[in-house]
Amino acid sequence: MASNTQASITTKIQAWLLANLNLVFSILRWVKPIAVYKNAALVTRFDHVQEVLSHDDIFHVTYKEKMEKVTSGENFFLGMQNTPIYTRDVSNMRLAVRRTDLPEIITPFVDNCAEKIMASAQGRIDVPAELSRVVPTRLVGHYFGTPGWDEEEFANAATSMFQYLFYPDDPEVEKTALAAAAKSRDYLDDFIVQRQKNRRQHDDVLERCLQMQDADMPGMSNLDIRNNFIGLIIGAIPTTSKCVVLVLDYLLSHPDLLAQAQQAARADDDALLTQFMQETLRFNSFSPAISRLAAEDYVVGRGSWRATKIPKGTKVIAATQSAMMDCLQLKSPSQFRLDRPDYQYMHFGFGLHTCFGQYINRVQIPHILKAVLKRQGLRRASGPEGQVESVGPFPVHLVLEFDA
């Protein structure tokens, strides 16, 4: 009985802390910016968060074990330390995923795809179900070259694998994710072989990988290509969809900002829309933190009176959401401002493992948003439909209406 009461109090405290994260972070930044308790540490100031994330030799990524289950054997570069294989794999994929593709392939595709969906929506759209998950899934089909065995199941598979890899352990999630991983592996294995028989028909990421394979480049076997694709697909679909929903949800709750963003959308001011995305996500975060494991004893903030030793073996939570609210780095952090420099945003991580898709994100998210924001009379549907409904960490419904 006593232990039940204790468990329910702990659950209530946890729920309160989660619901009031910004308040908790702001207190910690002043009272205990590097908080170490038992074998866990929480780092909340901008400089300290960047110190942790840039010392990848000390603070290791922890995704290897789960990555190997997803690929059935191999690691993917987000799960690797800074090894020669890490450099090989990232470099190979950077040759295939080129920044020049942004204006040439990605922007026109996203614009076209999002606009077509909005134009046929007849005044009502369920954003995650009909738009924000659909566009990145189709971009993966068109640009990476892998449309999936079924658009919706493919996006669901990527979403469940993401939840398994980056959220706390849950046996149900693991079961669904590993089944999705097996299906994705089979699909990609077959699909790569089909494309080997059907060469030079497309200029997409898969064709470029096969060209590297022709040139006998290390790290470009069918298995290597498949594993790189699994990692990229997981990273690309649920993340983009969630960011679009978070931005729209915040803007809809702030009509003055919504009006400014709509003006930017109608003026095709893409740079301003990107700035809207960055700033909005600071208030409505994709994720509060990035976690690491200390491989050595290390003193964070050395030389300052906040210096704190993090012992080897400590799980370190680098609270990026808190860092982006730190008044020691950002001017008036509680104000919504569109003139902040890009280096103050860490939605896409920091250091060695900074998001591989960061430049795609800066284009894809604002261009999906633009197609929505251009609509006249944009509003939430009435009742619960007009509010975000999530399954696990990902939004599945948010119905908006507009003048058709």
Which of 149, 286 has the CB closer to ligand HEM?
A: 286
Site string for ligand HEM, 11-50 (x = CB under 6 A): ----------------------------------------
Which of 68, 385 has the CB closer to ligand HEM?
A: 68
Which of 185, 402 has the CB closer to ligand HEM?
A: 185
- Residue 360 engages ligand HEM in binding (rule: CB under 6 A): yes
- Please answer whether residues 113 and 131 qualify as being in contact, where contact means their C-beta atoms are separated by less than 8 angstroms: no
Secondary structure class of 300 (helix, strand, coil): strand
Give the whole-angstrom CA distance, residue 56 versus residue 35: 20
54 CB-contact burial (10 Å; exposed 0-12 / middle 13-18 / buried 19+): middle
Q: Which stretch binds ligand HEM (CB under 6 A): 103-111, 210-218, 357-365, 382-390?
A: 357-365
Which of 275, 402 has the CB closer to ligand HEM?
A: 275
Give the contacts of 233 (CB within 8 A, at least 6 positions apart): 140, 144, 146, 154, 158, 184
- Please answer whether residues 115 and 371 qualify as being in contact, where contact means their C-beta atoms are separated by less than 8 angstroms: yes
Which of 246, 402 has the CB closer to ligand HEM?
A: 246
- Residue 321 engages ligand HEM in binding (rule: CB under 6 A): no
Give the whole-angstrom CA distance, residue 195 versus residue 230: 17
In single-letter form, the type of residue at position 364 comes to: Q
> To the nearest whole angstrom, how small is the minimum distance from the Cβ of residue 242 to ligand HEM?
7
Give the contacts of 132 (CB within 8 A, at least 6 positions apart): 240, 241, 242, 244, 245, 368
- Residue 205 engages ligand HEM in binding (rule: CB under 6 A): no
Which of 25, 63 has the CB closer to ligand HEM?
A: 63
User: By C-alpha distance, which of 81, 59, 79 is closest to 68?
Assistant: 79
Q: Which of 55, 60, 347, 367 binds ligand HEM (CB under 6 A)?
A: 347
- Residue 61 engages ligand HEM in binding (rule: CB under 6 A): yes
Residues 278-297 binding ligand HEM (CB under 6 A) are 286, 290
Give the contacts of 357 (CB within 8 A, at least 6 positions apart): 232, 235, 236, 239, 348
Q: Which of 355, 359, 381, 386 binds ligand HEM (CB under 6 A)?
A: 355
> To the nearest whole angstrom, how small is the minimum distance from the Cβ of residue 144 to ligand HEM?
8
Residues 76-135 binding ligand HEM (CB under 6 A) are 77-78, 90
Which of 177, 360 has the CB closer to ligand HEM?
A: 360
Give the whole-angstrom CA distance, residue 204 versus residue 188: 15
- Please answer whether residues 46 and 33 qualify as being in contact, where contact means their C-beta atoms are separated by less than 8 angstroms: no
- Please answer whether residues 56 and 82 qualify as being in contact, where contact means their C-beta atoms are separated by less than 8 angstroms: yes
- Residue 361 engages ligand HEM in binding (rule: CB under 6 A): yes
| Residue 317 token pair | 């939570």
Binding residues for ligand HEM, per CB under 6 A? Answer: 61, 77-78, 90, 231-232, 235-236, 239-240, 243, 286, 290, 347-349, 353, 355-357, 360-361, 365
